[in-house]
Amino acid sequence: MTGIVPAVVEPELTGTNTLLVIIVLAIALGALAMAVVFRKQVLAAGEGTDNMKTIALAVQEGANAYLTRQFRTLGIFAVIAFFALLVLPADDATVRIFRSVFFIVGAGFSSAVGYLGMNLAVRANLRVAAAAESVGREPAMTIGLRTGAMVGMLTVGLGLLGASLVVLFFQDSAPDVLEGFGFGAALLAMFMRVGGGIFTKAADVGADLVGKVEQNIPEDDPRNAATIADNVGDNVGDCAGMAADLFESYAVTLVAALILGSQAFGDKGLVFPLLIPAIGALTAVAGVYLTKPKVGENGLRTINRSFYLSSAIAAVASVVLAYVYLPSSFSEFTNITDALVNADGDPRFIAASAVVIGIVMSAGILALTGYYTGTEYRPVKDVGKSSLTGAATVVLAGLSVGFESAVYTTLVIGAAVFGAYLLGGAALTVSLFAVALAGCGLLTTVGVIVAMDTFGPVSDNAQGIAEMSGDVSEQGAQILTELDAVGNTTKAITKGIAIATAVLAATALFGSYATSVFEALVDANPTEDEFLQFDVFDPAVLVGVLLGACVVFLFSGLAINAVARAAGAVVYEVRRQFRDIPGIMEGTGRPEYGKVVDIVTKDSLRELVTPGILAVLAPVAVGFGLGVTTLAGFLAGAIGTGTLMAVFLANAGGAWDNAKKLVEDGNHGGKGSLAHEATVIGDTVGDPFKDTAGPAINPLIKVMNLVSLLIASAVVSLSVGEDQNDVLRIIIALVAVAVIVAAIYVSKQREVTMGDEPATTATTTA
């Protein structure tokens, strides 16, 4: 294949391309301006009764307190990573410095998207509840969607802003600097996903097990001490965590596309990947305004219509752009490698087709995920029906749904990756760029996807505030129940699409890793035996595949076990309060909500460290210890296993959640029945599946790919050629392994004290 070892190119921008990047920058600023507009629209809505305001204020204070403490914890990791990047090789000192600087920028943007999205969501939930009571379903739904639109515009605006500034100022060095930007976004998103996921699901599981199962009271009953923590968790997990996750998907996909684009399309390869998501920013605004709920129309149908319309507009616009902007042959490009000058195919057709493949794939995943997690389809109905025979059959039925859905979703993603790959023909670099462009096609839908996702926790919290306040009529409560059910499905759908973006970005980064290794090997002037190949039958590759799969399983186990421990502490604390505080069940005693918030805050911040260390240091241990060939297999194993595991966990959890909703709507005996108890248990099993471990796998595989890309040249230089230093290489690997082992050991020593002890001993102990 041609293009396997591209020569060094310097795709400096021409005057026209510089102008186009400035236009992209202007679109990014416009998206941020629209975020401000949507925020003002949401805050202009009525806030409801004093009781609603009091409850909403408690949720706001809890969410702000948690994120403030989380950012202080993550700041330590950010400082360490900043200086570590300064040590890693780069083309020159300026690139090395600004790679670290933009690591901080990427981490800061990821944090900002998460924090600002959560900040509006905890104000919007109150307004949605008030609107459902005072003005009806359509205005309430519009407030929820405008909240999501604000987060969506923030995501695309900051993503485009960071990438376009780097391309504008660094031009030929932009791909190297962007590695830092993407790594910062991915690292912070992973920590926020893990920490927020542990927080929200520990509170949710604890609240359900004691409130619903033991005390037989409703989900958001104010007598349950875990309700405020549960509502806080929805925001720090599903709002802040998911927003940061989708932002880093946006940033990392752009990073991979720009790295490969500069090799495949020269200077135009630095600009075209920016233009596609810029189109997506514009079509996302159109999608927001096209989402006008119709009287009597199912809310999910309204949201899906917005998605499909904006996707179709983006697809048409992207095809037109490709044929207007790109030349008809590779010989017309400037600043590309000699190996690609005579590459086969029409660049316009390759680029346009790749983008459309990404958009079509997102639509396919939306349909598949909706089928496997929606209440109106057979999979969830079957899980709900299985509740008639107990909790065990509910768990078995949900596992079956998760396993089956993972197969079909992975086939859709695999078909998209392979279809895009085939577009490049014999030129590997072009094929990998086509995969990255498919990811860019998916990015055109991110604005709407984020809006869909944020709608879920906002509607969920709105229902909680309504129930806890007791100030909403039966009609208003029914509206909020319907919106909550729609939100459950949209959250499941967006998790599926987020997984797809992770796979496309990781595949493209994997390609970037391969080309980086080959370039480093050429620079090291190796012997023929040292010039490594990534042959699948090489035992080194197979060992790497197994290790990559192991990390995904270990990461998932650590995350789920962390939820189990923290939830156990919540259970004991809520039981204690029901037992020791007089008048709680009668409504005359007030639960100590703050103690539960404090428990899950401390536990989640402590528990997020071990999975984070594993994600960052596992590639370091494999790469320096076993070499770049094994590391290539490691990344392949992590991508393949991570895709299946993430879909399985997300869809199984979504099916259990909506099966519970089916029963609560009056099916199979309704609330308080044995069937309801069985689905509550299924839902609590699924909670850490769908909201902790599953979503956290997305940034996990991207973090590991980015770390591998960053250390590739260092691993090669210490392994072969004149700078070979096996002693230093092994020491680095052993230190990484030692840190991982120590972190896991410490994590395993934490236990939940068994018994109904007071809160001070019911929390986890190190």
Per-residue pLDDT at 242 exceeds 70? yes
Q: What separation in angstroms does the CA of 485 have from each of 280, 459, 492, 655, 659?
A: 28, 9, 11, 12, 11
**Eight-class DSSP state of 331:** G
Per-residue pLDDT at 354 exceeds 90? yes
Summarize the confidence of residues 44-69 as an average pLDDT. 84
Per-residue pLDDT at 766 exceeds 50? no
Token pair, residue 184, equals 């910062």
pLDDT of 530: 46
* Whether 574 contacts 599, CB under 8 Å: no
- Range from 520-524, 663-667, 716-720, 732-736 that averages highest in pLDDT: 732-736
How many angstroms separate the CA atoms of 760 and 597, rounded?
13
Residue 757 vs residue 705, higher pLDDT: 705
Q: Give pLDDT tens digits for 561-603.
A: 888 888 888 888 888 888 888 888 887 788 888 888 888 888 8
Percentage above 90 pLDDT, the chain: 27
Ranking 24-33, 34-43, 77-86 by mean pLDDT, the lowest is 77-86
Q: Which residue has the tokens 């197994």?
A: 546
pLDDT of 6: 43
Residue 158 vs residue 175, higher pLDDT: 158
pLDDT of 136: 83
How many angstroms separate the CA atoms of 20 and 178, rounded?
19
* Whether 363 contacts 308, CB under 8 Å: yes
Token pair, residue 138, equals 């359509």
The residues that bridge with 751 in the sheet, in sequence order, are 765
Q: Where are the domains of the chain?
A: 15-524+537-762
Q: Give pLDDT tens digits for 411-448.
A: 999 999 999 999 988 787 888 889 989 988 988 888 88
Summarize the confidence of residues 57-67 as an average pLDDT. 82
The 3-state DSSP composition of the chain as helix, strand, coil percent (nearest 5) reads 85, 0, 15
- Residue 503 CA, chain-centre distance (Å), reads 11
762: confidence class by pLDDT, cuts 50, 70, 90: very low
This prediction has a pTM of: 0.85
Task: Write b or e for each residue in 92-104: b if 16 or more Cβ atoms lie within 10 A of its Cβ, otherwise e.
Answer: eeebbebbbbbbb
Which residue, among 150, 232, 246, has the nearest Cα to 189 in the 3D structure? 246
One-character DSSP codes across 372-428? HH-TTSHHHHHHHHGGGG-HHHHHHHHHHHHHHHHHHHHHHHHHHHHHHHHTTTTBH
Per-residue pLDDT at 301 exceeds 90? no
Per-residue pLDDT at 449 exceeds 90? no
* Whether 186 contacts 702, CB under 8 Å: yes
250: confidence class by pLDDT, cuts 50, 70, 90: confident
Summarize the confidence of residues 456-481 as an average pLDDT. 83
pLDDT of 738: 96
Which residue, among 13, 86, 123, has the nearest Cα to 457 in the 3D structure? 123
Per-residue pLDDT at 529 exceeds 60? no
Percentage above 70 pLDDT, the chain: 93
pLDDT of 178: 84
Which residue, among 263, 281, 80, 275, has the nearest Cα to 184 in the 3D structure? 80
- Residue 173 CA, chain-centre distance (Å), reads 28
Q: Give pLDDT tens digits for 133-167.
A: 888 888 888 898 899 889 889 988 998 999 899 88
Summarize the confidence of residues 499-506 as an average pLDDT. 82
Residue 380 vs residue 665, higher pLDDT: 380
CB neighbours of residue 670 within 10 Å: 13
Q: How many Cα atoms sit within 13 Å of 465 on the Cβ side?
A: 36
2: confidence class by pLDDT, cuts 50, 70, 90: very low
Per-residue pLDDT at 241 exceeds 90? no
pLDDT of 1: 36
Residue 296 vs residue 86, higher pLDDT: 86
pLDDT of 634: 94
Summarize the confidence of residues 89-108 as an average pLDDT. 86
Q: Cα torsion at 453, 192, 208, 490 (round to 10°)?
A: 10
* Whether 446 contacts 212, CB under 8 Å: no
218: confidence class by pLDDT, cuts 50, 70, 90: confident
Q: Give pLDDT tens digits for 515-526.
A: 777 777 766 665
Q: Give pLDDT tens digits for 476-494.
A: 888 888 888 788 778 777 8
Token pair, residue 238, equals 């599903």
- Range from 146-150, 246-250, 348-352 that averages highest in pLDDT: 348-352
